[in-house]
Chains A and B, each alone.
Chain A
Amino acid sequence: MEGKDIQVQKKKEVEPQGEFTQEGPFFIPNVDIFENEDNIVLLADMPGVAKDNIDIRLEDGQLLIRGKVSRDVPGDYVLSEYSIGDYHSSFSLSAIIDQTKIQASMKNGVLRVVLPKSDKSKHRKITIKSHQET
């Protein structure tokens, strides 16, 4: 990782599902999703979204994430390299997640959602028995 330079990534724009009263554009955040023994963790880059402007919802096994961004900018544009818009993202959750214990936090424009695995999915070690008899 040392000495590596960050490459420019264009924000990924999406056409939101359904009708929206608000004008676009909308973006999909860049995410990291990883899993350890107890949890599945989702990290999403959502710069400009304050803690109170994030809306996380569970609907039919889908985790919906929306982040509202303020579009108020002082003055007139001289240079515009990126556009500003709300973040929309959705993930389907597998049954192994305990949906009542999902936790989320927001820090410096990065959302962290911790999805705990349900107890029964944690110990899914399958013991293989050898069958001697035929």
Chain B
Amino acid sequence: MFPKRFIDFPTWSVGNPFMEFERMRQEMKRLSEGLQFGLPSFSTAGVFPLTNVTEDNSNFYIRAELPGLSTDDIDISVTNNGLSISGKRIIPKEGDNVRYHRREREAGNFSRMVSLPGSIDTDKVEAKFTDGILTIVLAKSKAMAPKQIEVK
């Protein structure tokens, strides 16, 4: 059954075998860009939600993408050099008589720790949640904040 062999092409885990090449190509591109700008865009803790942390002289800013959640679904607790974000993502049921064609959005629990490269003032933490993005602003502790030294 020679012709059948050709039809029985081994199935890939991804729908389209070329998608995988495309993904690799994007990854390579990202890698070279990452080197260029010195952004470690790969290293993730592998825990949901992925977070981005930035800092300026007075604050740390932590951001995480949490689409579909509301403020009540998210718990944040802070220590003096880190914080934990936890919660639950619920995807509401859409009635009984539905047939799914595609289901990529995930529901479930999450919990992660983020440690910061310096200590913070735990009394000065603000969190806001807009358009599915959680932003936490943490003020650096006085001892950490760089002092401007005036040249006389």
Contact = CB atoms under 8 A, between A and B. Distances in A.
Contact of A46 (B52, B67, B117): B67
Interface in B42-71: 43-56, 59-61, 63, 65-70
B150 interface: no
Interface residues of B, number: 57
Interface of A: 1, 3-9, 13, 15, 25, 30-37, 40-41, 43, 45-50, 73-84, 106-110
Contacts of A47: 65-67, 131-133
Given A8-B48, A34-B99, 4 more contacts: A30-B104, A34-B98, A76-B54, A82-B50
Contacts of B61: 73-75
Nearest to A30: B104
Contacts of A80: 39-41, 52-53
A3 B105 CA distance: 17
Main secondary structure of the interface of A (DSSP, over half): loop
A18 B77 CA distance: 45
A4 B67 contact: no
28 contacts: A1-B108, A3-B109, A4-B108, A5-B108, A6-B109, A6-B110, A7-B48, A7-B106, A8-B44, A8-B48, A15-B22, A34-B94, A34-B98, A35-B98, A35-B100, A35-B101, A43-B105, A45-B68, A47-B67, A74-B56, A74-B59, A75-B54, A76-B54, A80-B39, A106-B131, A108-B68, A109-B68, A109-B133
A57 to B, nearest CB: 21
A99 B63 CA distance: 37
A9 B105 CA distance: 10
B54 A77 contact: yes
Given A36-B95, A74-B61, A109 B67 contact: yes
Contact of A48 (B41, B49, B53, B133): B133
B103 interface: yes
A77 B131 contact: no
Nearest to A74: B61
A5 B110 contact: yes
Given A36-B97, A43-B105, A47-B67, A110 B132 contact: yes
Contact of A73 (B52, B68, B103): B52
B90 to A, nearest CB: 8
